Structure 1
């Protein structure tokens, strides 16, 4: 019998926090399979300390913020999870994520939700709104001007001169060809494929995993394109999945994050946030600093009857 749920972890630091998260997921989800893509070039991990339901990707990729390695690592870990365990559902997490609902609540919500995937996404088209110098704030991916950032990253044809612009303190660091004529001829977006982008963190079912792992012309085309683009994690899964006919994708990714006053990363959550986490509709929250006592308190407070 296939397991109900499995987990894909993408990690590169804090071995103690990785181990703690795996122990809690193992306890809460009845030893559900967990596959970890860890970048061992960033720090070592003693894999022998982990529960038996945890495995590591052996041919791991080097990762960096904004690089393809995060996406490649997620694909490798997802492939390993499904080749060995084939769960009904999978959840992609980082080491700083943590469940804020009970396993029974999460599974009941997933099986009864009517969707194949939970991934915040939005269609991306030409946008000329000015980018706010202070960042996108609490709206983050939903900010109207974020569409311009995504369009320049994933659709427009850019020519960058970042080092020169930084040295000379120029505000503009690239120029972009935005005309449909060039886009349709030199990118996958030839009119038959739509562009989508948003937050990276994903929950999906078996149909979603199969769509991501299929060796299809669409997947090969998108992988080749996004490998050469900045921050592909915020564009590749969304574009791929949203172009699969019949796949039902919710824009609610079941994650709690607080972007108020932030720029590149969500605010670090603390005990003071626990009441908001428990009353939200989210299944998981991010980011947490490693505080075992506080996280264990949160974990032990999760009850089957808890509702969002």
Structure 2
């Protein structure tokens, strides 16, 4: 199997090039379930501010053929307030792309696509979709657009006027890829694209994101990136603390000590899986997690 560049690196260095738009268009088409054609990449005011202001950072901002704004962010490090960061990002984007004096009907649709390589929240799925709806507190009905609003906005649902959020919890994917979206998540998780994968955009990724297309200097920078993104000591400490807390909570709920051990073991395997993706040798993984070599090879 060929070796491919990780998606987070490609996002920062390669996918802004129009020649490579097909890769990102394929992911967005698969995720949003509609044909996405990127008109061009945009620069938000957020992206132009001070580098240290991480709350304003935009990884990639695109405009599709319908004029919708698509914000794509990749986050490697654990951030407990990431949900609020998503909200801040879309809110600021909306205000940036409406001119002073324009009516509210000119507010543009925003899609927020968040690819996270850490345990965000608590849930059993690995792809989540968030929309806004208004539900009656007495009749439990959903507030709908009027016929005039439908005609004016060319939409049939109120939720379509609000930002939509997608969260891809990449590290939680541990199954066979059976759908085009699964094939994409598998690539995001492992950096590998099996020969049988045919989801939109993956063929372009095969052609354009090969490691052997990189220069010596680019490879050196890329490997430094791999060394720094996930396996930092403070991240490992955070993961361990969360695993122990989860284990204690499960143990109290079930009235047995096994819950804590199970939580710790799950956390160790999550860390080991990340380290394997980064190409870190087994001996180092054993030292960092305490798992056996056989456990690590089985991941």
TM-score range, shorter chain: under 0.3
Larger helix proportion, structure 1 or 2? 2
Structure 1 or 2, whichever has the larger Rg, is 2
Q: Compute the TM-score of the two structures, normalised by the length of structure 2.
A: 0.26
Q: Compute the TM-score of the two structures, normalised by the length of structure 1.
A: 0.26
